[in-house]
């Protein structure tokens, strides 16, 4: 009986985690854009991509801080790689202006 109960509890916890992830993470994923400007809320992915590219081109410390926040919040692998490329661009520039 004990294993059965344990499985049920585990399934419940996994389901709850998936629910929380599904509900909370999408809203958090876009919040870094408000660091660019408070009005930049709920931007679609294409716009966020362009913002990341521009932050990489500009490359100021202000941009770098936002990119680091974007790296924490963006979940998709393509967005992550884009953010990291932009961060590399920033760091390269800071090394050799």
- Give the binding site for other proteins (CB under 8 A): 33, 36-37, 39-40, 43, 47, 50-51, 53-55, 57-60, 62-63, 93, 96-97
Check residue 38 and report its DSSP letter.
T
Closest residue by Cα to residue 34 from 53, 23, 48, 49: 48
Nearer to other proteins, 85 or 93 (CB): 93
SS (H, E, C) 50-69: HHHHHHHHHCCHHHHHHHHH
Shortest distance, CB of residue 21 to other proteins, whole angstroms?
Answer: 27
In angstroms, the CA 19 to CA 11 distance is 12
Nearer to other proteins, 59 or 83 (CB): 59
Shortest distance, CB of residue 12 to other proteins, whole angstroms?
Answer: 41
């Amino acid at each position: 009986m004990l294993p059965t109960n344990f499985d049920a509890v585990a399934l419940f916890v996994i389901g709850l985690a998936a629910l929380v992830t599904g509900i909370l993470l999408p809203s958090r994923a876009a919040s870094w854009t408000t660091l660019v400007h408070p009005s930049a809320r709920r931007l679609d992915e294409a716009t966020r991509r362009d913002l990341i590219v521009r932050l990489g081109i500009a490359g100021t410390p202000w941009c770098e801080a936002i990119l680091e926040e974007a790296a924490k919040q963006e979940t998709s692998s393509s967005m992550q790689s884009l953010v990291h490329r932009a961060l590399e661009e920033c760091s390269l520039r800071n090394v050799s202006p």
